[in-house]
Amino acid sequence: MSKSILLVSFMVVQLIASAQPLLLSKQSIIPKPVSVVDAKGSFNLTEKSIIYYEGESPEIQQVGNYLASKLNPSTRFGIVVRSNSVAQTPGNIYLSLKPGDAQLGDEGYQLVISKETVILTANKPSGLFNGVQTLRQLFPANIESAVPQEGSWEIPAGTVRDFPEYAFRGVMLDVARHFFQVSDVKRTIDLMAAYKMNVMHLHLSDDQGWRIEIKKWPKLTAIGGITQVDGEKGGFYTQDQYVEIVKYAAERQVMIIPEIDMPGHTNAALASYPELNCNDRAPELYTGTKVGFSTLCTSKEITYQFIKDVFSELAAITPGPYLHIGGDESHATKIEDYLPFEVKVQEIVASTGKQVIGWDEIALSTMKPNTVVQFWAKAENAQKGVKQGAKVIMSPAAKAYVDMQYHAKTKLGLHWAGYVEVDTGYNWDPATLVPGIGRENILGIEAPLWSETITNMDEIEYMVFPRLPGYAEIGWSTPASRNWNEYKVRLGNHADRFKAMQIDYYPSKLVPWLGSSKK
Ligand code: NGO
């Protein structure tokens, strides 16, 4: 075939492709919505479009502002957000709370797109926020760019009705092994919120560092915060900075859960205060990556005063219902000391008005009725928790630990629980993974990023993406609607979005990345 014939046939193929109507049901929305129904035509966002919100609620206004902040940098439209009391007019986006749609629950939404308007309704602001994430994904990928883009901003008409399978959809960031700046935590929150994840668990203390200011115990950060793995300079969040993170997260419908790990994983605290050690001698600061060698002195009164002070200060600046008490790998604590210790710590946390979460080992102890177990390693422990009536957060290391390497040659990460390729991370169902732990026992899922080998934002992104959208889908979409072969195509179609958001993701060979054949 001559070159010109080739060119003409290529142009014909292109023409046919562009003549196909945009279909809402063909968009690569992640997590997959509950229902999508197509309608004729499309909505076009223009410089005249306005985001109207119904009523005077500052929370709905905030969702409107958030949407505008996502649409304006790339389109340069300068879209404004206004309270709406007048009738709907063409060209605009409407956000409103319509309580009473029981099926949608607290976080669900309905998005009706027509040629004239986009109408987003929900029972609660968190539902509107989730609907906004779907809306973002319907625009061309370069809508996500932080700099002006050319293009027509068209989205296909139809209706999305959507609500989550699980209420708890989390990511954990270990800021103890390596410390991450407030800006990195915020960016991670932004990226997870884009996929409708709603919990950020901060692992704030470990052997290698204490990362949160405690006013009554200032040496925790003055001494315990100064280093990190490999002896590099550490850091910590002041309470003001923590409050700033909490606020930033709340504006994105994300709850912060602070963790203070104990009685093991406490070398940084033990090095800061000799009195927390049974022998009254402070150990050296630790900059290695071994686990299981440290313990608070469980027989001293001062230990419990310390714990009460720490959790009281944290409870006062944490609006969410949970405080995480760690409890994992306390190999240096005798079991006869560990068991009553966990009971006492649960009582202390209860006295602050908060609810306890602990790693699965805490189920060896007697649990308070509302204590939550986070399954990571031992199914047996999690089952013990369930037998005591506890709800479970599913973070099976072999599936959900995003510090696990993708494969043997991944430069970052660990592999003690195996390699977690993108399909391995996606292909499991929390409700059938562990015998005796069913849907009714599960609060949700969480993907922890431990940071022994992770030192900066690029590395966070590389380990978290592209696995995170998969965890988001496990948490949000029904098991019956999930299928790797179908999902991987949708994920591949997010390549341009990742690029526009400047996410440094791992380009797994298992995923048909959009545009990769052209490279
Ligand atoms: C374990 C351990 C952490 C490690 C992590 C590394 C739990 C709950 N405790 O998970 O201290 O950082 O593995 O993957």
| Tens digits of residue pLDDT in 124-176 | 999 999 999 999 999 999 999 999 999 899 999 999 999 999 999 999 999 99
Identify whether residues 217 and 116 lie together within a single domain. Answer: no
Nearest partner of 489 among 466, 471, 506, judged by Cα: 466
Q: Which of 116, 154, 244, 329 is catalytic?
A: 329
Position in ligand 1 atom list of the atom nearest CA 289: 12
pLDDT digits (tens, 9 = 90+) for 61-104: 999 999 999 999 999 999 999 998 667 899 999 999 999 999 99
Is residue 176 domain-resident? Answer: yes
Is residue 394 domain-resident? Answer: yes
Separation of alpha carbons 107 and 191, rounded Å: 18
Structure tokens at 97: 């709370």
Where in the sequence is the domain holding 158, given as residue range(s)? 21-162
Is residue 513 domain-resident? Answer: no
Average pLDDT over residues 422-450: 98
| 329 part of the active site | yes
Domain end (from 461, 479, 497): 479
Average pLDDT, the chain: 95
Mutate to test the pocket of ligand 1, among 208, 328, 375 (most ligand atoms within 8 A of CB): 328
Position in ligand 1 atom list of the atom nearest CA 414: 14
CB within 8 Å of 512: residues ≥ 6 apart: 488, 489, 492
Look at residue 11 and tell me whether its pLDDT is greater than 70.
Answer: no
Identify whether residues 188 and 142 lie together within a single domain. Answer: no
Identify whether residues 246 and 395 lie together within a single domain. Answer: yes
- pLDDT confidence of residue 128: 98
Out of 215-219, 249-253, 283-287, 512-516, which region has the weakest mean confidence (pLDDT)? 512-516
Indicate which residue's Cα is closest to atom 4 of ligand 1: 450
Is residue 1 domain-resident? Answer: no
Q: What residue type is assigned to position 170 of the chain?
A: G
Indicate which residue's Cα is closest to atom 6 of ligand 1: 450
- Identify the band that residue 518 occupies on the pLDDT scale cut at 50, 70 and 90: very low
Mutate to test the pocket of ligand 1, among 174, 325, 450 (most ligand atoms within 8 A of CB): 450
Look at residue 12 and tell me whether its pLDDT is greater than 70.
Answer: no
Average pLDDT over residues 168-187: 98
Identify whether residues 449 and 322 lie together within a single domain. Answer: yes
Percent with pLDDT over 70 in the chain: 95
Position in ligand 1 atom list of the atom nearest CA 450: 12
CB 173 within 8 A of CB 202: yes
- pLDDT confidence of residue 276: 98
| Ligand 1 midpoint to CA 180 (Å) | 18
CATH of the domain at 280: 3.20.20.80
Position in ligand 1 atom list of the atom nearest CA 452: 12
In three-state secondary structure terms, 144 is helix
Nearest partner of 32 among 200, 196, 252, judged by Cα: 196
- Identify the band that residue 435 occupies on the pLDDT scale cut at 50, 70 and 90: very high
- pLDDT confidence of residue 289: 97
Separation of alpha carbons 291 and 414, rounded Å: 14
**H helices within 176-289, ranges in order?**
182-193, 219-222, 239-250, 267-272
> What residues does ligand 1 touch, defined as CB less than 6 Å away?
291, 328-329, 359, 376, 401, 403, 414, 450, 452
Position in ligand 1 atom list of the atom nearest CA 451: 12
CB 259 within 8 A of CB 482: no
Indicate which residue's Cα is closest to atom 3 of ligand 1: 450
Is residue 15 domain-resident? Answer: no
| Ligand 1 midpoint to CA 329 (Å) | 8
Identify whether residues 324 and 392 lie together within a single domain. Answer: yes
Indicate which residue's Cα is closest to atom 10 of ligand 1: 376
Mutate to test the pocket of ligand 1, among 207, 208, 267, 291 (most ligand atoms within 8 A of CB): 291
In three-state secondary structure terms, 202 is strand
Please count the residues of the chain. 519
Identify whether residues 151 and 80 lie together within a single domain. Answer: yes
Identify whether residues 129 and 216 lie together within a single domain. Answer: no
Indicate which residue's Cα is closest to atom 13 of ligand 1: 450
Identify whether residues 139 and 221 lie together within a single domain. Answer: no
Domain end (from 107, 133, 162): 162
Average pLDDT over residues 354-376: 97
- pLDDT confidence of residue 87: 78
Is residue 150 domain-resident? Answer: yes
| Ligand 1 midpoint to CA 450 (Å) | 7
Domain end (from 132, 162, 192): 162
CB 45 within 8 A of CB 117: no
pLDDT digits (tens, 9 = 90+) for 188-206: 999 999 999 999 999 999 9
Identify whether residues 137 and 220 lie together within a single domain. Answer: no
CATH of the domain at 63: 3.30.379.10
| Ligand 1 midpoint to CA 176 (Å) | 12
Look at residue 2 and tell me whether its pLDDT is greater than 70.
Answer: no
Identify whether residues 100 and 234 lie together within a single domain. Answer: no
pLDDT digits (tens, 9 = 90+) for 366-424: 999 999 999 999 999 999 999 999 999 999 999 999 999 999 999 999 999 999 999 99
pLDDT digits (tens, 9 = 90+) for 205-228: 999 999 999 999 999 999 999 999
Indicate which residue's Cα is closest to atom 7 of ligand 1: 328
Is residue 125 domain-resident? Answer: yes
- pLDDT confidence of residue 519: 38
- pLDDT confidence of residue 56: 78
Is residue 280 domain-resident? Answer: yes
- Identify the band that residue 21 occupies on the pLDDT scale cut at 50, 70 and 90: confident
| Ligand 1 midpoint to CA 54 (Å) | 46
Identify whether residues 152 and 182 lie together within a single domain. Answer: no
Position in ligand 1 atom list of the atom nearest CA 417: 14
- Identify the band that residue 516 occupies on the pLDDT scale cut at 50, 70 and 90: low
- pLDDT confidence of residue 57: 85
- Identify the band that residue 1 occupies on the pLDDT scale cut at 50, 70 and 90: very low
Omega prior to 263 cis, within 30 of 0 = yes
For the chain, the domain total comes to: 2
Identify whether residues 309 and 452 lie together within a single domain. Answer: yes
| pTM for the full predicted model | 0.95
